[in-house]
Structure 1
């Protein structure tokens, strides 16, 4: 009797661990199956016109803007992300070759589609303005829009709350037309990218911005916080196709209709698991959890030490997993920064270099390990006049705590260049100023 009574709670915990392991194995099996089956996908059935269109147009130009985790370039300059995996699957189903051409803002991307320089895009939300020159495929997922405001201000819960306040949005944002029409009291300020929008909110020059909830969770900041979902607005994931290509739209829709739901679910888990909001536990999961706790409560005082030891082991395991997840996140962020084509750097309150990417090293012909912890004045990377000017600007900006975006002519060692420079103060989690994050785009190189 004593053996039976002591064994029941242990069996319950063992059963729970087995079920959790089975669930993890199922998810891992779906991801492994997705990675291994792309090469043996069965082609979809296309009519004569669609087959001829593919023969005439085998390469489809994709206007792509980097938006982790949906679409971004890795450290080898290869396009990756959720939308990239979807295009690879469609390519295997149809024979189309998708060629990415990078754009540097939503406005730039839309201009390329309008001018006919690209055929499709994977990161555009649907809007009335865009329907004029774009068709949209069937949806294959989506996320909500959320408000992003500043810590210390009331949490943004609705558009009505933004009346007579500054709302900053990337130019030609999908919601801009609706907000201007329905909420004329809101002052809208346009910038090029979401990074600039977040910087203006962080500095207090704007009250809030609106962003995809996945993107908002991916770039946390000590002075920013995510508000409520924008009620009644949903950003569905579509493939935007330039008008005048009905065959291409039909091919993409047929491919999306034939896309196995379990594979699409596995792709989304691969990229968005841990970033997107957690799903609500099922009834079965709740019943199993309650049953196990009930069995534990019924156990005798002699089992308390066993329960304590198991809880301690579980806590150690969770901490180990949390450290691994943190390491993975830091590795991802490091790879993401290094994959950026433009130079990016981070400096502390004294102007000393904390971090930089490979593009920064290449642009100044330096190695990070040789210049880490040193200011521009202590490094022979730029002409002395340029180094002194930039160092003084950094120190002045740290005093004013203002963001800076400007186009200027700057003297490098190998000559003068026209650049688009940006520097943004950054803060710790407790709101203390820690230094400057900055970089530049070589406009002369872009023109070539």
Structure 2
């Protein structure tokens, strides 16, 4: 009865007592109800290393591992890492590596403790512990749409195929299929770009990574052209000297529920994105756009008037610039031909061009029309055209002006002119400009001729001396004949000597006339030793007069050279005259004067060299850079024209050879002439 009477009072009290018991339990931490997944030892170790375990994801391997545009580590494996961190209540220290080989090296060096997505092999098991695979990847062959599939390994033989450097599968493929021309890249994105641009035929890559990178880069000309037998499991791996770390990873991975694994997989292997209008970003952009339109409408009224004024100002300025350009172009001494487009159509030629060549823009509307008119000879036209295209391509690639090019142009009236052409490229327009050097070339030819005669003039007195000796002998022999009448044998002997001395005179005169005659320089096979002997015959008298000792070392079996004998003799005369002048300046009276001349061939018979060496005062180092320039001389006025070495250099260039000088001031000067042996037929004496 008592309980029945107080039944209504006890019920609220029981409820209150129950709540008082439950509230403290609710305030206890969740760990009080959840058993720790780790062993006590592993938990202690993890607590001590929380935030210091260095985790380096595989670099640039989307969608498995990569850094997004904000530098945040993302991807399928990174979602697994985050799940492990949440389940076990700790944080990894994430570090970045430069490449996959860099990652492997740092794992080996213990500079990285954990990585997320690598394959297993014997070498890596030597320093890493591996977990069960969390994702599998299949390798496929990706090529351009124009390449028909399915491709096999045999189809790739001899082709340029891209692989990612450092990957285990890259090493396996290159060793198994050595006939393929492999090109290694740092990451999948670079490799796919190579294939898309046509720099490579195909790439062997993970299907998921290929799809992700193709979609992200907006590449539209690639497709999966073949499958391979390679399918790999990717695993978490950790340094094998930290057993607790291996246990922590194993517990964390095995604790991720299946539904969460499926969610991660679908997130990174499905590329279907929600419609843009369903995203918050769309409505954010709509609001910005609305306010922007209002601002634009307000600004348009202001900008419209400003633009109108600016257009008027710039149009006026453009007209003024065009007028200035036209004035300068029309008054320019250069012939200007302006063309553009792939068809190289002319858009402007100046008055100088028309006056120089006789053609108007209607007659040469494109380069295609210009070539046969300017160069009617087909073989010469091809030579000029090929050289022009080569120089223009070189200038275009180096972003510089063209190397000047001299040609002989046929004018409308049939006359020819020597033109030095230049070229420059200004974005959309091509400028060709030519300078008429016809008169300059004639003047240089005349100056060269004058220098040649001046060089021969130096030996004229010596030639007279050489002629005087046999002349006196002839007179003496004649007097002996006159005094010896009736002595027939003696008279006959004297007549022979007179004949011999007369031939000497004739040979000297013939040699001098040959090298002083103006003629077209025709090249013929010739013996360089014979040319040297003839040239020195004109200089022996001067060398004897100057007490100069000549040492001549002529090599044997030297091939004939394709040269103009007169020009090469002029080269020898100029160099020996220079040596004689240098020896005349020797300051020590007891120092002997010596000129050494040698000829020899290279071992492969492709070159022949002539060296003229004197022990004169040498050339100052400050003059070496100018010594070959026309009209440069260090001699007193009246003793030299300054053209001798310039002519030597020009002649050697025209023969496809080289002219070099070596000198030590106060000791010696050495002139080195190098001739090419142009063909096997000319290489035999």
Given the two structures, how large is their TM-score scaled by the length of structure 2? 0.33
Q: Which one has a bigger Cα radius of gyration? A: 2
Given the two structures, how large is their TM-score scaled by the length of structure 1? 0.49
